[in-house]
Every structure is written in structure tokens, then in C-alpha cells.
Amino acid sequence: MDETKRGAGMSRTNPVIYLGVLLAMLVVLGGAGLGRGELLVAKHEGDMLHFVDIVMRMAQGQRPHLDFSTPIGAWAFAPVVLFVKWGFGVGTAFLAAQVLVALCLLPAVWWVGVSRLTPGLSVLFGLIVMGMVLALVHGEAQPDLSLSMHYNRWAWAISFVAILIAVLPAIHPKSPLVDGIVLGVAMVALVMLKITYPVAFALPVALALVLSGQRRALALAVLVGLALMALLTLAHGGHYWVAYLHDLQDVAASELRSRPSASLGGVLVAPPFLGATAAGVAGVVFLRQARAATAGLILLLLLPGFVFVTYQNFGNDPQWLLVLALILLASRPVGDIKNGLGWPMRAVLTTTAAVTLALAAPSFLNMLNSPFQHLTLPGQGYAPMIPHSGANEDLLGQIERVITADARVPLDGEGSAFAAFASLSTRPAPAVLKGEVLPECRLDNGISAMHSAVVADMAAAGLTGGRKVFAADLLNAYWLFGDLAPLAGSAPWYYRGLGGLEDADYVLVPLCPLSPPGRALILRALQERGTDDLTEIRRTDLYILLAKG
């Protein structure tokens, strides 16, 4: 179906009314999130400390990739850093940053709605984007609130804008200039958020623009994107991109993270995801049967990117189902077109879109509801994630998860009732520090209590005073809990190597780490490097501290 036929069947979105609707969505959802003046979360506590670590480093002037290692782009944290510098606590700063991101996206969402979608679809699109950006949970159907992986939500929302511009040529008004500017800015924003998204979508979007006759928009998008990348290079230096690439390589080569959740094959055909795959394939087939061959071909090009991003994201939430439903609904034929089986294709595409929205509903409704859930939560049972941190005590976690300390230990040791089964165990080899086999233990809950207790003990022993700690664990956030300094060149979330060790005063080895495999990997790397310059200076029930000299 060509552009003329699609336009002939469209009722146009009123630009003034639509702007008011988008602003109302932003005010209601953003206001619900900000309403209580603090941020209460109930899961992914390690991710939260990783997030705060990066935000506070950047607020001190450190630069991602150059001063510390992370595979996540700087713009995933920059809006939060802005509000922290203005005096907000980190919890409220995150909530305000989400509103700022939604406000920045609003003009692009408005443009897509008024130029390409009917009034009903434009409202649905606005709700999808605003709901994703302003959510307080990463997705899935589990309602416990979390700021974890917020950049995935933001990146999906930006990707949806770019994809709809590429797949659905403008009907009225038309402006390749506006399309090109929006696309160019969107792709650069994705590069600076999480590289997975532009890797997955840049080529399909470019091909879609060619196939849908939007070559001028493509040329302008390339020019805008190159200009922005040049400005970023001038601001950060060419070595910034080299450092960013190095951080990505560290993740790809990490023994700790072969994949975030399900395997690639699982994301395609495992029971939780097979329905999404079937919906995508059906969409391609039905679009072509509805004489929307170009849209069908473009969707076919997009599907591998959809699956790849889903595979790369923790939880493997197929958020792309939302934009698939919009494409199907916007591409429905006007006339009485039937396929070879005699099925009316407008009804078929409507039904397929309805099924697609039903598959996406648990995750999307969870995100959409999360700001209101946050607003109505009882305040009891929560404690600051980082005690005694002043304004940053506005980030709170459930006491039973962040303060109550629980650990997992093996029960099949020598002399135990389960010793006879130890030889069948697939448990990895224990961690070894300078020839000493360390006890096997994993901290399940109590991350704030553990960090606070370790730093308080160090302070009582006179071992803080602005010194720097390299932690043999998944996180290196002890400096947030007392008079310690952040470690230059380190990784707030460990993947591989010994980055930051040269800047450290101490190596801290937790006896019950967050990640036993991470601890073992670091200690193995230390052993290969040599430990003659490491001297044990303190040992407690919680940790071993070695001075580097």
C-alpha cells in the first residue's frame, strides 16, 4: 500500500490537542513519580549502588570511559548528574531526570503523531513513550519498583520514534528536514545511552528510509548525526571513543557475563518468547498480503534487531511488541483487500495488533502503573540505601533486602551430612588469596549493611581518611559509605581485569561477597599479576584488607 492510499484513509491528529494530551501525560506520570519527594525501591540493590557510584563520580567531574570503566553511555546518567549538581538527592534527581528526558522527547513524539498517525494511534504512541520513560520498573510483570536499567527504557522509547519515522512516511505535514533532525539526534542519543540499540537499528532504519522513499530525510539524518558526533569528539577528544570501545570489549570478553538472561535461541523460541516471535513473523506476512509490501519488508529487516536487543537486555522483555502493534495498525488498508484465503486484511491486521498488544500488556501496564504504585506505597519498612549520606538518603530500599543480612553457604563440606554428595557438585573452584582457600559464601541480602559495617570498621581502625579501596567483588562502592575516595580507572561494575588497582591504597577481599565468581576471578588475576606488594593489615569476620606498597 503506497503513501497516498494510507493517507487517504487517515483522520489527522490535531496538533494543539495532541500537544495538550502529551503534556497531560507527562504531568500526571511525572508528578506521580515525584509526588512523595523520595525514591523507594524494592529490588536490584546492586544495580542501584552501581548507578549511584557512577552518578556521584560524574558529579565530581569524572568522565565515563576515560576516568572509570562502564559499557553504558554517559547520557544514561548525565540528566541525573545535572540535578545532583543542583542540590537534589540522588533519588529525587533520578525522578526529575526522567521528567526532563520525557520533556526532551515530547517534540519528537508530537511530530510523529501529527505527521504519521491517526488521533487514536497518536495517543497510544504518546502513552507508550511517556509510560516507558517515566516508569519506575524496568518492565516484566513483577511490580517491585526499581531504577535498574532505566537506560533500556529510555533507549526503547527513542528507538520507537526513529522506527516509526522510517517505516511510516509522513502524510501531512511533510518535512524531510524535521525528520532528518529527529533521526540524527535520536541515533546519537542511542550511541550515548547504550550502543546495543544503534548497532541493532541504524542499518534497518537507513534501509527503511530508502525503501519508503525518504532519501532526503536519510541524508539530513546522516549530516545531523555526523555533526553531533563531531561536537562530542571535540568536547571529549578522539580517545573517548577508543576508551568507550575498550569498555565494550571488556564486557564482551567477560567470564562473568556471557549473556544477561536467556540464550539467543531461547529469546526466539522458548515458551515465554515464542508468542512474540510468532507475532513478528505474522506481521511481516500479513503486511505483504495487505499490499503494504514495503512496510512488511522493513519489518522483516527490523526483526533481527528487535531480537538482538531483547537478548542483550536483562529479563529479555520484548518491548518491541509495542511498536510492532503501532506499525500494524497504522498500515491497515482502506479498501476491501483480502488474502488468498479470503481473509479481510484490515481485520486481520487489527486482530494481529490486538494479540501483539495483549502479549506486551503485562510488562507495559506494569511500567505504566509504577509511578502511581510509588506514590501510594506506605513508607514503613524502608531505609536509606546509603546511610549518613545527607541529601542522598532520599534513595531508600526495603529493610529486609538492604539491611537484613542473609547469606548462602554450602552445606556439603568435609564432615557434613552432605559430604557424600560433594563429588557430584558443579560448584566452581573456591577463591584463593595468596595460597589461602577462602570460605565459600554469597551475600543474598543486606548490601547496605555490609558496606556500612566494613567501612565503619575501617574507620574505627584508622584506615579511611580519603584512602582508595580496590574491592575483590562485583561492586566497588565502599567509598560511598564513608571517608574513602573513588578509585580512578576502576569499574563500578566489575567485568574483567584489574582496572584501578594501580591507584588503590588497599585491596579489600570480602569473606562473603556479592559475587563469589567475581571474587575468584579477581583473585586469580591478582595471583597472575603477583601479590608480593600486598600485605595483610586487617582481618575481620567480614573482610581481609591488604595494603598495597
pLDDT tens, position by position, 481-511:
999 999 999 999 999 999 999 999 999 999 9
| Domain presence at residue 297 | no
Average pLDDT, the chain: 93
Task: Tell me phi and psi for residue 456, to 5 degrees.
Answer: -65, -40
- Top mean-pLDDT range of 179-193, 329-343, 484-498: 179-193
Q: Identify the residue whose cell numbers are 576516568.
A: 67
Take residue 27 and report the three cell numbers written for it.
504531568
Tens of pLDDT, residue by residue over 516-540, are: 999 999 999 999 999 999 999 999 9
| Domain presence at residue 295 | no
| Domain presence at residue 400 | no
User: Omega of the bond prior to 510 within 30 degrees of 0, cis?
Assistant: no
Of 331, 361, 376, which residue constitutes the final position of a domain? 376
Report, as an integer, the average pLDDT of 308-320.
91
Of 333, 355, 376, which residue constitutes the final position of a domain? 376
Element (H, E) at 39: strand 39-41
Relative to beta strand 432-433, strand 436-437 is: antiparallel
- Work out how many domains the chain is built from and give that number: 2
pLDDT for 8 equals 53
**Helix 215-236 vs helix 196-211: angle between axes, to the nearest 10 degrees?**
150
Of the candidates 480, 508, 507, which has an alpha carbon nearest to the alpha carbon of residue 492? 480
Does residue 488 contact residue 67 with C-beta atoms inside 8 Å?
A: yes
Of 334, 357, 376, which residue constitutes the final position of a domain? 376
Of the candidates 84, 97, 86, which has an alpha carbon nearest to the alpha carbon of residue 53? 84
| Domain presence at residue 453 | yes
Give the three-class secondary structure for 458. helix
- Asked if pLDDT for residue 545 goes beyond 90, the answer is yes
| Domain presence at residue 107 | yes
- Give the range of the structural domain holding residue 61, as residue numbers without chain letter: 12-255+371-376
- Asked if pLDDT for residue 1 goes beyond 50, the answer is no
Which amino acid, 300?
L
Give dist(CA 528, CA 521) in Å, integer: 11
| Domain presence at residue 269 | no
Total Cβ atoms within 10 A of residue 417? 8
| Domain presence at residue 89 | yes
Integer angstrom CA distances of residue 87 from 80, 103, 348:
11, 21, 54
Residue 269, exposed/middle/buried by CB under 10 A (0-12, 13-18, 19+)?
exposed
| Domain presence at residue 386 | no
Tens of pLDDT, residue by residue over 442-467, are: 999 999 999 999 999 999 999 999 99
* Residues whose CB is less than 8 angstroms from the CB of residue 455 and which lie 6 or more positions away in sequence, other chains included: 464, 478, 481, 482, 484
